[in-house]
Amino acid sequence: MTTDVNMAATFFDITKQLKRFVSRIVQPDDVEDIVQETFIKSYEADLNQDIQFRRSYMLKTAKHLALNHIAKWDYKFNDSLEHNTELPPLLKSSQLEDEYTSKERFLLFCRATDQLNSSIRKCFIFKKVYGMSQKEIAQHMQLSESTVEKHIAKGLLQTMLYMKEYEQSPNQSACDEAHPIKRAVK
C-alpha cells in the first residue's frame, strides 16, 4: 500500500510541472487528459515493478504520451484527400470550376495554335507539347535551328496575343474571320 501512496504523493507534487511540460507539446484542451493518463500508466507500471525514480518516470511517460498524441493527430488529419470517399461540397465545386477553367484554357490554346501557319504550328507544338529540342525539331522538319527558333518565338507570340485578345473580349467568337489576330497570323 505504501507504493500506492508514494506514487500518488509524487503525482500530486509534480502535477503543475507535468501540466506545464505537456502544454509545450499538445493543445491546451489535451493537457489534462494526458496528465491523468500519465498517472494511470505510472501507477500501473509501479504495481508491476519497483520504480525508484517516480518523478523522472512520470515526466518521461508524460512526454511519450504527448508525443504519441501529436503523432496520432497528425496521422488522422494529414491523411490524403485521395483516401476520403466524400469531399466537402465547397472543395467539389472549386475543383469542378478549376477543371472547367483548365479545359476552357486548353481549348483556347488549341484554337490559337490552329490559327498559326503550318510550319510555325508544327515547330511550336513539337517544342511546347512534345518537349522536343530545337535541334531535334530542325532535324525532323529539315530546317535550320535558327529558323526553328524563329518559328517557335513567332508561334509563342501569336498564340499569346490570340489568347489575350480572346480573354479581353469573350463575347467575340474565336472562329470569327474578322478577328484581328487571325488576320495577322495568316
Total number of domains in the chain = 2
CATH number at residue 13: 1.10.1740.10
First to last CA, the chain: 98
CATH number at residue 129: 1.10.10.10
Which of the pair, 184 or 63, is modelled with greater confidence? 63
Handedness of CA 80, 81, 85, 87 (dihedral sign): positive
The 10s digit of each residue's pLDDT in 154-165 is 998 998 888 888
What residue numbers bound the domain in which 11 lies? 2-77
User: What is the spatial distance between Cα 30 and Cα 24, in angstroms, rounded to a whole number?
Assistant: 11
Q: Identify whether residues 70 and 94 lie together within a single domain.
A: no
Question: What is the per-residue DSSP string for 54-97?
Answer: HHHHHHHHHHHHHHHHHHHHHHHHS--GGG-SS--HHHHHHHHH
Q: What is the pTM of this model?
A: 0.41
Q: Identify whether residues 93 and 175 lie together within a single domain.
A: yes
The 10s digit of each residue's pLDDT in 9-42 is 888 899 999 999 999 988 888 899 999 998 888 8
Which of the pair, 84 or 61, is modelled with greater confidence? 61
